[in-house]
Chains A and B, each alone.
Chain A
Amino acid sequence: MKNRLLASAFVLAGAVAPAQAADPHLARNLAATCANCHGTGGRSVYEPLVGRPREKLLSMLADFRSGEHEATIMHQIVRGYTDEQLELIATWFSEQR
């Protein structure tokens, strides 16, 4: 899983600014980009992300990226984020109650 994600991270590296002094709210901000479809704070009735285990979220994201998990749209969206960003997002949702 990790390798698959890493491979795409190299593709993305050119498009993304190198890590500067990280924002203290980076994970929260990134996770907020998911709210339009997954509810504020991931609290959707249909597709909740809140409180789900980090590893489970990361493996789902990796499967969307690889196409192993068929999707209408998530396979396209997941490719817009770096590995580091996906890990921050998954960790943030896993820590929400």
Chain B
Amino acid sequence: MNLHRRDFLRATAATAAALALPRIASARARPHIVVVGGGFGGATTAKYLRMWSEGAVDVSLIERETAFVSCPMSNLVIGGLKKMADITLDYERLRSNWGVRVITDEALGVEPGRRSVRTARHGEIAGDRLVLAPGVAFESARIEGLTGNEERIPHAWKAGPQTAILRAQLEAMPDGGVFAMTIPRAPYRCPPGPYERACVVAHYLSTTKPRSKLLVLDANEGIIAKKALFERAFARYGTMIEYRPNSTLLAVDAATREAEFEFERVRADVLNVIPPMRAGELATRSGLALINDAWAEVDWLAFGARGMPGVHVIGDAVFPAPGMPKSGHMANQHAKVVAAAILNDLAGLPPNPTPVVMNTCYSFVDDRAAMHVASVHQYDAAKAQLLPVPGAGGLSEEASVAEGRTALKWAYHIWADTLE
């Protein structure tokens, strides 16, 4: 509490000082870090920079939304087990507890030479370092007929209005209807997420509309996360869930809610298309070095963007190291590595040569039971990568109510670690 109050007092003074100065880095006596994107990665970076520097660096966080809506647990809203309010948080405590300057605005692009971010309404915001956490962009254009029809054919893969739309469509679906969901080829955000969604939707249907059908059309060759566990979970719903691997979506018809695949055509009452993904638009607009023309290339000691000194990229937008999932937990862990590296750099020190990150992901299989996958990733100096530690991490033996409770506690903790 004392720490919070002390930081708050400092922050108040810093904010007052910042307001009196023009918005350019050179006018600041103190280092200024600009973070773009207020998801798990960006928000955690902003908080930890302020916390670990004990208020010695100024931090601006540019985020287009005023509310933080959590992707983890959003499937429970779709399944009718949680409300939007349960997964919606705000940025107030980043301001009041930590003195982060939260700027509600759209980042248009980065000027790497000037280490600045162009915004829609606040002009150019310059910093001594930039941290970009732009998340993912959806490649709707790769599916014929999808662009512009995302409200009729929602992805609900960025929590927010899309989550509420998909929930409403599911509620309006008649008993005996067909809910079809499509899964893109990996890598995409949250590997187990689509299969969890299938389970909680099936749970809802089995309790309220038991004659309905749930089609899971997966572009991958099989379930890509917690495979055996999800196969068991799907089996519990009998013939309600029909899982079809190797099903790459080619086109949709928004008027009829038909989906076209290579060898078949499916008509659904609710069509939930999770499109292929790439790094968030800011990555493309900023000219970041991309691998496979999709994901940002970084070094794993400081998450520095290749070829852009002073610019860092974290979270889902990054081309993953082997075995590294795109998850909120992992983005929160990236944030701590980059915050430590930047503070070291400002102090004239190299980045920590032995960073460690870890991941935990819980998936619900019904209204109460969940299961996990966990991993720990250590830096391998020879390979210059963060790699999963062999023999560490692993899966639940089976989904359980006890882990369902742990999953809810996990969400409570990571939301607080990220935003409070």
Contacts and interface: CB of A to CB of B under 8 A. Distances in A.
27 contacts: A11-B391, A15-B378, A15-B389, A16-B354, A18-B381, A23-B351, A23-B353, A23-B354, A25-B343, A25-B344, A28-B340, A29-B355, A32-B336, A33-B333, A36-B414, A37-B413, A37-B414, A38-B413, A39-B417, A72-B372, A76-B392, A77-B358, A79-B376, A80-B376, A80-B393, A81-B356, A81-B376
Among A25, A28, A35: residue with most chain B CB under 10 A: A35
Nearest to B2: A97
A44 B417 CA distance: 10
Contacts of A78: 392
Interface string A1-37: 0000000000110011111110111101110110111
Interface residues of B, number: 51
A21 B353 contact: yes
Interface residues of A, number: 36
B388 to A, nearest CB: 8
A20 B344 contact: no
Interface of A: 11-12, 15-21, 23-26, 28-30, 32-33, 35-40, 44, 46-47, 72-73, 76-81, 85
A87 to B, nearest CB: 14
B392 A36 contact: no
- Secondary structure type dominating chain A contacts: loop
Given A76-B392, A79-B392, A36 B374 contact: no
Among B51, B329, B333, B413: residue with most chain A CB under 10 A: B413
B418 to A, nearest CB: 9
Interface in B326-361: 329, 332-333, 336-337, 340, 343-344, 349, 351-358, 360
A25 B375 CA distance: 23
A36 to B, nearest CB: 5
A30 B376 CA distance: 12
A15 B323 CA distance: 14
Interface string B358-378: 101000000000001011111
Given A16-B380, A17-B354, A79-B393, 8 more contacts: A23-B352, A35-B417, A36-B410, A36-B413, A47-B409, A76-B394, A77-B392, A81-B376
A32 B338 CA distance: 12
Given A33-B336, A80-B389, A73 B406 contact: yes
Interface string B386-408: 01011111101000101100100
Contacts of A21: 353
B261 interface: no
A37 B360 contact: yes
Contacts of A81: 356, 376, 392
**Chain A to chain B: the 7 pairs with minimum beta-carbon distance, closest first:** A80-B376, A80-B392, A17-B381, A79-B392, A23-B352, A76-B394, A80-B389
B66 to A, nearest CB: 23
A11 B52 CA distance: 33
Nearest to A29: B340
A81 B392 CA distance: 8
A15 B390 contact: yes
Contacts of A40: 47, 51, 416-417, 420
A17 B380 contact: yes
B376 A17 contact: no
A38 to B, nearest CB: 7
Contacts of B416: 39-40
A31 to B, nearest CB: 10
Contacts of A33: 333, 336, 356-358
B48 interface: yes
B379 interface: yes
B413 to A, nearest CB: 5
B346 to A, nearest CB: 13
B410 A37 contact: yes
A72 B406 contact: yes
A40 B417 CA distance: 5
A80 B409 CA distance: 22
B354 A20 contact: yes
